[in-house]
């Protein structure tokens, strides 16, 4: 019952998730941060079962750090997205993770957003969403997104998307966390 969405603006990438953790008919928490900072310029916004989400996210994060430590080379956003896709695709035949991701980041090529599902399908997008909330926010993202979106316009778009999910979605998703990544790093909005 996750809601994960994001988009890129003129000089930033933004991702947002709901904060709810539920299983079957029980709600466990409304304060879970489902956005992981991989390093100082990459964010993983994840949806899926809590165990798979935490296990896979930490596995990728630690392996990216290990690669940087061993080689002294920091992966850009595209390279990190492709590494993540290969690990998720490999896991399909060994021990699948039920995790969907939006990978947002900022590097020498500017802001970027990658959509990755649990089957290992990877696509670079300007806007995207996962989970049940995607049914509600996709139309808003299509109508209000523009390539040269400013940060203030992006924040207004996020407010519209969150309001739409909270108004129309059957499940109560009270809290959301929104993070942006710019050339200056990551911050929470």
Q: How much is the pLDDT for 1? A: 78
Residue 169 in this model has a pLDDT that exceeds 90: no
Q: How much is the pLDDT for 170? A: 78
Quick check: 124 and 96 in contact, CB under 8 A? no
Quick one: how far is CA 85 from the chain centroid?
14
CA distance 70 to 179: 29
Quick one: how far is CA 172 from the chain centroid?
20
Q: How confident is residue 25, by pLDDT bands cut at 50, 70 and 90?
A: confident
Q: What is the DSSP string of 12-30?
A: -EEEEEE--EEETTEEEES
CA 56 vs CA 10, 51, 86, 101: distances in Å: 30, 8, 12, 11
Collapsing DSSP to helix, strand or coil, 100 comes out as strand
Quick one: how far is CA 31 from the chain centroid?
17
Q: What is the pLDDT of residues 51-75, one digit of tens each?
A: 999 999 999 999 999 999 999 999 9
Quick check: 91 and 101 in contact, CB under 8 A? no
Q: Which residues of 20-50 are buried (b: 16+ CB within 10 A; e: fewer)?
A: bbbeeeeeeeeebebbbbbbebbbbbbbbee
pTM of the entire predicted model:
0.95
């Amino acid at each position: 019952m996750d809601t994960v969405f994001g988009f890129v603006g003129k000089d930033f990438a933004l991702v947002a998730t709901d904060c709810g953790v539920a299983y079957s008919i029980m709600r466990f928490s409304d304060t879970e941060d489902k956005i992981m900072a991989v390093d100082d310029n990459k964010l993983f916004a994840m949806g899926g079962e809590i165990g798979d989400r935490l296990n896979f996210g930490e596995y990728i994060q630690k392996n990216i750090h290990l690669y940087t430590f061993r080689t002294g080379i920091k992966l850009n956003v595209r390279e990190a997205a492709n590494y993540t896709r290969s690990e998720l695709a490999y896991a399909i035949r060994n021990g699948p993770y039920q995790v969907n991701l939006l990978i947002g980041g900022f590097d020498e090529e500017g802001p970027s957003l990658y959509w990755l599902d649990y089957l290992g399908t990877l696509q670079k997008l300007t806007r995207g969403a996962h989970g049940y909330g995607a049914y509600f926010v996709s139309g808003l993202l299509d109508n209000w997104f523009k390539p040269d979106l400013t940060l203030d316009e992006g924040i207004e778009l996020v407010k519209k998307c969150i309001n739409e999910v909270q108004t129309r979605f059957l499940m109560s998703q009270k809290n959301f966390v929104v993070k942006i990544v710019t050339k200056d790093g990551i911050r929470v909005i």
